[in-house]
Amino acid sequence: MKELTIDATIENVAAVTAFVDEQLEQLDCPLKTQMQVDIAIDELFGNIANYAYNPEVGAATVRVEVTENPLAVVITFIDNGTPYDPLAKSDPDITLSAEDRQIGGLGIYMTKKLMDDISYEYRNGKNILKIRKNI
């Protein structure tokens, strides 16, 4: 398991992505899978940066674990910000035009579609969001 604790800012999305990509490259992860994980990181860490501590800045921890059978990467995002379950919101109606859809929710919807599993819990004053992607 590898872990990175970093300020939850938009500027640090690239650092978090590079940290996770380094772990994926050690697994000879296919580029398509890596790109899907990168999209999820951008969405999830971006949401933490924009909303968890707003208007302040706080720390977030990103944990990368590898599981066997099936080979998968599990990425956990942990922050002490405002409790928020992004999975509680209903999926956007993607059959509507962009003008007719409500704002928000598309990024988490894409993340749910790209990952093999996603879960959220609020425990001991922490938001804990986990994604799993089979490799």
Give CA–CA dist 52/92, Å, rounded. Answer: 22
pLDDT at residue 130 tops 90: yes
- Domain ranges, ordered by start, for the chain: 2-134
Give the separation between CA 62 and CA 76, rounded to whole angstroms.
6
Q: Span 2-134: which CATH code?
A: 3.30.565.10
48-67 confidence digits (pLDDT tens): 999 999 889 999 999 999 99
Tell me the two tokens of residue 104: 């928000």
Question: Which residue is it, tokens 């928000």?
Answer: 104
pLDDT, tens digit, 9 for 90 and up, residues 101-119: 565 556 788 899 999 999 9
Averaged confidence pLDDT in the chain = 90
- Per residue in 5-42, pLDDT (tens digit) is 999 999 999 999 999 999 999 999 999 999 999 999 99
Q: How far apart are CA 55 and CA 67, in angstroms?
A: 36
Please classify residue 69 by burial: count the beta carbons closer than 10 Å to its beta carbon, then call 0-12 exposed, 13-18 middle and 19+ buried: exposed
Mean pLDDT of 94-102: 59
Cα separation of 64 and 39, whole Å? 16
What is the reported pLDDT for 72? 96
Which residues make Cβ contacts (< 8 Å) with residue 97, sequence separation at least 6?
none
